[in-house]
Amino acid sequence: MTSESSWAESAQQFQQIFGQSWSQALQSFQKLDLGAQVPAAAPLKLSQTKLQALQQQYLKEAQELWAQGLQGTPEVKDKRFAGEGWASNPVAAFSAAAYLLNARTLMGLAEAVEADEKTKARIRFGVEQWMAAMAPSNFLAFNAEAQKKAIETKGESIAKGMQNLLHDITQGHVSMTDESLFEVGRNVATTEGAVVYENELFQLLEYKPLTAKVYERPFLLVPPCINKFYILDLQPENSLIRYAVEQGHRTFVVSWRNPDDSLAHKTWDDYVEDGAMAAIDVVQNITGAEQINALGFCVGGTILSNALAVLAARGDEPVASATFLTTLIDFSDTGILDVFIDEAFVKFREMQMGHGGLMKGQDLASTFSFLRPNDLVWNYVVGNYLKGETPPPFDLLYWNSDSTNLPGPFYAWYLRNFYLENNLVKPGKLTVCGEKLDLGNLDLPVYIYGSREDHIVPATAAYASTQVLPGKKRFVMGASGHIAGVINPPAKGKRSHWIRADGKFPGTLDQWLDGATEHPGSWWTDWSGWLKSHAGKQIAAPKAYGKGAKFKAIEPAPGRYVKQKA
């Protein structure tokens, strides 16, 4: 079909398929299943000005596409359609170009909807998911690269793809890396240490000092319970845990248990009191320190903030300083996750698991993956199944696939009181562990970090903590996203970070950035200097783990809790 007459026939077919009237297109758009987020009784209204502009743009680009098709292979600039197979196949290139045109048009229709911002965000999200799933690259019948490989390998790639598909069906998730090449404790999570305490919710890890002297105030890390702690200890060269130990801090880490049915009744209060608060108390007992320094990452930071507020309500101040990495405390801006949250959704979760049950780790992992569907879902569908490829080894993606469950009551309470009602920033509104919380009582110094491209905890949301925590503050914004921005060791010399020297915290992140300066490289060195200023004097490093018979070494780090699969 490379002749001019063939291209003319293709152009006619294209016009028949995609040349519907705009009323027909709108009807098709309104039939989209957006998770029942757009009520059927409230038909969508579109801005007529935007609609007319979109129609004119569509017709213009369609004519240009047909002209390109008549002259040769249309140019397609999208990594999903890169490769010689697409470039050498005019029909495939044309289908890809047509798909991209229609994807842009549908997104334009979503932008033209006249509705409140939340409804528009849900429509955009639904259209993005649909368009990502319908890309020609996702289907063997249309994927020129996969077809080329099948011919070159005499069908071996298709056979291997079927094997990969059956393997992933058995394991319950799409493989993002060759998971057989990794083992927790062998080539990830290898920093030397021991478990010195455990209860039914967590194990406490103490790490072997790497310096002759350590700071008198020990350092406790509280990672998120929504995934496993070893994101902070993937490899020696990018381990935040090892970095803290190398800086002379006596370092402890909470390793949350992967909940099974025996923990299906656990609540938010349990994770605050028997988790973070228990860890703080044990670290004090082991080290004999009156105060410790603490760090909370993501949901771990939210748990830590609650623990500190409970302790403050009880008149206790066991933490000298706190670090919050990509943490939501003020939930006014929850980024893309806001599309899922409303009263009906939260009520459903409360009815489903508010009194017991588990939020399955794979369901959570799938939700987060579909926030970036082309990169974290369909890319692997194409590679694994259509091309029969084995994804390359990547420790970060191995960790990403190592999912964790959550207790239903914990999850449902968290959704309502934080994501839906934003009660943590309302003094006296929340009662946790029997105490009314007031963040205004937390006058300890805090270090707050946000990542510029974070889609889980937007940088604006991380910055919002500066407006509700009353103590002395330092805010730093790093480049990249939720994980890559945090895991950015200085030795790599990558990315950059922003600091404002005058110590002022205006109402918005944009206003803060007006007075901030960009610095090359990792934010870790800035944080390290800040933490040392709150760590006290140096003392001789301990020669043994734990303390006495009560807190003796139970097993080597990383312990058995982190090895439990969801």
pLDDT tens-place string over residues 68-123: 888 877 888 899 999 889 988 888 999 999 999 999 999 999 999 999 999 999 99
pLDDT the model gives residue 70: 82
Whole-number mean pLDDT of the chain?
91
pLDDT tens for residues 338-365?
999 999 999 999 999 999 999 999 899 8
Q: Is 412 helix (H, G, I), strand (E, B) or coil?
A: helix
As a whole number, mean pLDDT of residues 329-333 equals 97
7 Cβ neighbours under 8 A, 6+ residues apart: 1, 69, 70, 90
pLDDT the model gives residue 257: 98
User: What is the pTM for the complete model shown?
Assistant: 0.90
Residue 95, both tokens = 């289908």
Q: Which residue do the tokens 């950059």 mark?
A: 496
State which H helix or E strand residue 461 sits in: helix 459-464
pLDDT tens for residues 444-466?
999 999 999 999 999 999 999 99
Residues of the chain with pLDDT > 70, as a percent, come to 93
Amino acid at 350: E
pLDDT the model gives residue 11: 37
As a whole number, mean pLDDT of residues 408-418 equals 98
pLDDT the model gives residue 71: 81
298 is catalytic: yes
State which H helix or E strand residue 351 sits in: helix 343-353
pLDDT the model gives residue 12: 43
pLDDT the model gives residue 28: 42
| Pairing of β 555-556 and β 193-198 | antiparallel
Closest CA to 113 of 131, 98, 126, 100: 126
**Whether residue 536 has pLDDT greater than 50:** yes
Cα Dmax for the chain: 87
pLDDT band at 44 (very low <50, low <70, confident <90, very high): confident
Q: Which residue do the tokens 């005499």 mark?
A: 154
Closest CA to 243 of 294, 203, 207, 205: 207
User: No. of H helices and E strands in the chain?
Assistant: 21, 17
The end-to-end CA distance of the chain, in Å, is 51
CA gap 382, 137 in Å, rounded: 7
pLDDT tens for residues 18-36?
333 334 444 444 444 434 4
As a whole number, mean pLDDT of residues 381-401 equals 95
pLDDT band at 10 (very low <50, low <70, confident <90, very high): very low
CA gap 483, 185 in Å, rounded: 21
Give me the half-sphere count of Cα atoms (radius 13 Å) on the Cβ side of residue 160: 17
pLDDT the model gives residue 42: 60
As a whole number, mean pLDDT of residues 493-519 equals 96
**Whether residue 236 has pLDDT greater than 90:** yes
pLDDT the model gives residue 174: 93
**Whether residue 486 has pLDDT greater than 90:** yes
As a whole number, mean pLDDT of residues 12-20 equals 38
Residues of the chain with pLDDT > 90, as a percent, come to 84
Q: For the chain, which domains are there?
A: 4-152 (no CATH), 153-182+361-392 (no CATH), 193-360+405-563 (3.40.50.1820)
As a whole number, mean pLDDT of residues 314-322 equals 97
CA gap 278, 522 in Å, rounded: 32
Of 286, 298, 299, 412, which residue is the catalytic one? 298
CA gap 281, 96 in Å, rounded: 59
CA gap 516, 504 in Å, rounded: 10
**Whether residue 185 has pLDDT greater than 60:** yes
| Cα separation values, 452 from 90, 301, 313, 375, 440, Å | 40, 18, 34, 19, 27
Residue 96 backbone zone (phi > 0: left; psi -120 to 50: alpha; other: beta) = alpha
pLDDT the model gives residue 39: 44
pLDDT the model gives residue 45: 86
As a whole number, mean pLDDT of residues 281-307 equals 98
